[in-house]
């Protein structure tokens, strides 16, 4: 078909994992004379993967850690070659997989812009013209004369991403490389994704963030145990992804209502929502079961018919970090939000993930609240509103 720009046909990828480890030069030479047969095993990273991506489609690849989704993306990028099968692409393809590849830590930020620009195919004149825009987007105006080795990981990603988006491409491959950026930078990235979607640029997007997948992707493929489990509508795929975790929460934390999953490193108890004056409050007590560097906490609110009204986390709305948590800690978390909800019943989902998007505790419909109003609107929200009349003449 003319509108197919990526065709993955029966792709499998195997890695050979040796069992004997040679850690010295002497060992390398003596190994030659050993008659003992070397042992190894084959890791089947992907098994007979098939899917197609259409021109202008925002296509998601989702799956649990170790499922093979990042391996698939690297095969699409040409970094790995498949053991079996083939990938056909039409148009110029640019991967945003390992941002900053080719950067030199001994050079300044400015020098790296010109170095990386040359690798992307730009002339010095081209880079001169876009230099200020690159630096402004990365928010690094004060740091461009410093060596890259003195940059934080977030600063390096901002610079690399600002460079990468200058490439003119027909197809973009985007891995979850943006998790280390701060909230402002992530907002810029997602605004950029919205422009890509509006401009009908073909994008293949790998992410653990089901909110982002639902927001941007037209379709998605779910890879589980290195095989395609399902391909289809984004909502269907994200729900199937969520179901994979249903049996993973320890039995001691299970509750009779809602759907729930996660590693259990954070465990919610006594979740309750209430409507108080002009605010809605959602409270939960938390048991911390493992030492955690940083926890990202979120809340989703759905209407009675299942429509999502709002979804946010502390990074998105610039709330305090939950960091340096010790095993055995007990916390009380409270969300307080302005009551802009229309008359009706609402369901609350609470989420906790770590800084690399591993799910710690995710509880769909953990609690609910009801709003009763005399004044109503035809939509799920009813913001404070005033109207005035000025009579003239």
* Protein fold of 4-243: Rossmann fold (3.40.50)
pTM above threshold 0.75: no
pLDDT tens-digit readout, 347-358: 999 999 988 778
Q: What is the mean pLDDT of the chain?
A: 85
Nearest CA among 357, 361, 300, 362 for reference residue 63: 357
pLDDT tens-digit readout, 298-333: 999 988 777 788 999 998 888 998 999 999 999 999
Please, what's the b/e burial string for 191-226 (b: 16 or more CB within 10 A of its CB; e: otherwise)?
A: ebbeebbeeebbbbbbbbbbbbbbbbbebbbbbbeb
pLDDT, residue 250, reads 46
pLDDT, residue 358, reads 85
pLDDT tens-digit readout, 242-280: 777 654 544 433 344 568 888 899 999 999 999 987 899
Write out 327-376 in H/E/C secondary structure: CCCEEEEEEEEECCECCEEEEEEEEEEECCCCEEEEEEEEEEEEECCCCC
pLDDT, residue 386, reads 87
Q: Are 17 and 40 in contact (CB under 8 A)?
A: yes
Q: What are the DSSP E strand ranges found in 55-128?
A: 58-62, 84-89, 93-96
pLDDT tens-digit readout, 10-69: 999 998 877 666 566 656 556 655 655 566 778 889 999 999 999 999 999 998 888 998
The CB density around residue 47, as the number of other CB atoms within 10 Å, is 17
> Over 80: is that where the pLDDT of 390 sits?
yes
Domain ranges of the chain: 4-243, 251-371
> Over 80: is that where the pLDDT of 209 sits?
no
Give the separation between CA 191 and CA 216, rounded to whole angstroms. Answer: 11
The predicted model gives 142-159 an average pLDDT of 89
Half-sphere exposure (Cβ direction) of 17: Cα atoms closer than 13 Å: 6
Q: Are 326 and 276 in contact (CB under 8 A)?
A: no
Share of the chain above pLDDT 70, in %: 87
> Over 70: is that where the pLDDT of 365 sits?
yes
pLDDT, residue 255, reads 42
192 compared with 268, residue with greater pLDDT = 268
Please say whether the structural domain 251-371 has been given the CATH code 1.10.10.10: no
Model confidence band, residue 343 (pLDDT cutoffs 50, 70, 90)? confident
> Over 80: is that where the pLDDT of 208 sits?
no
pLDDT, residue 393, reads 65
């Amino acid at each position: 078909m003319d509108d197919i720009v990526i065709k993955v046909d029966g792709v499998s990828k195997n890695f050979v994992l040796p069992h004997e480890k040679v850690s010295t030069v002497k060992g390398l030479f003596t190994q030659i004379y050993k008659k003992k047969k070397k042992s190894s095993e084959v890791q089947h990273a992907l098994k007979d993967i098939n899917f197609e991506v259409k021109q202008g489609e925002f296509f998601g690849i989702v799956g649990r850690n170790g499922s093979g989704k990042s391996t698939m993306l690297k095969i699409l990028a040409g970094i790995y070659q498949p053991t079996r099968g083939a990938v056909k692409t039409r148009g110029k393809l640019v991967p945003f997989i390992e941002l900053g590849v080719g950067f030199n830590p001994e050079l300044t930020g400015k020098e790296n812009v010109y170095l990386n620009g040359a690798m992307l195919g730009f002339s010095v004149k081209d880079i001169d013209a876009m230099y200020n825009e690159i630096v402004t987007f990365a928010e690094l105006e004060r740091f461009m004369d410093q060596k890259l080795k003195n940059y934080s990981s977030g600063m390096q990603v901002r610079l690399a991403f600002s460079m990468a988006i200058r490439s003119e491409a027909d197809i973009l491959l985007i891995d979850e490389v943006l998790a280390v950026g701060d909230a402002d930078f992530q907002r810029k990235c997602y605004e950029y994704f919205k422009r890509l979607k509006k401009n009908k640029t073909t994008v293949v997007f790998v992410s653990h963030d089901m909110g982002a997948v639902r927001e941007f992707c037209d379709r998605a493929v779910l890879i589980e145990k290195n095989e395609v489990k399902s391909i289809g509508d984004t909502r269907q795929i994200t729900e199937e992804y969520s179901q994979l975790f249903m049996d993973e929460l320890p039995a001691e934390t299970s509750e009779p209502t809602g759907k729930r999953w996660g590693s259990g490193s954070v465990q919610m108890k006594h979740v309750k929502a209430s409507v108080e004056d002009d605010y809605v409050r959602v409270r939960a007590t938390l048991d911390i079961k493992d030492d955690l560097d940083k926890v990202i906490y979120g809340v989703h609110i759905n209407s009675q018919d299942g429509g999502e009204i709002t979804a946010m986390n502390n990074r998105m709305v610039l709330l305090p970090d939950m960091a340096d948590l010790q095993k055995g800690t007990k916390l009380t978390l409270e969300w307080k939000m302005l009551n802009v909800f229309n008359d009706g019943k609402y369901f609350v989902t609470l989420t906790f993930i770590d800084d690399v998007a591993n799910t710690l505790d995710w509880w769909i419909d953990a609690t609910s609240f009801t709003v009763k109003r005399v004044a109503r609107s035809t939509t799920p929200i009813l913001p404070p509103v005033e109207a005035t009349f000025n009579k003239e003449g």
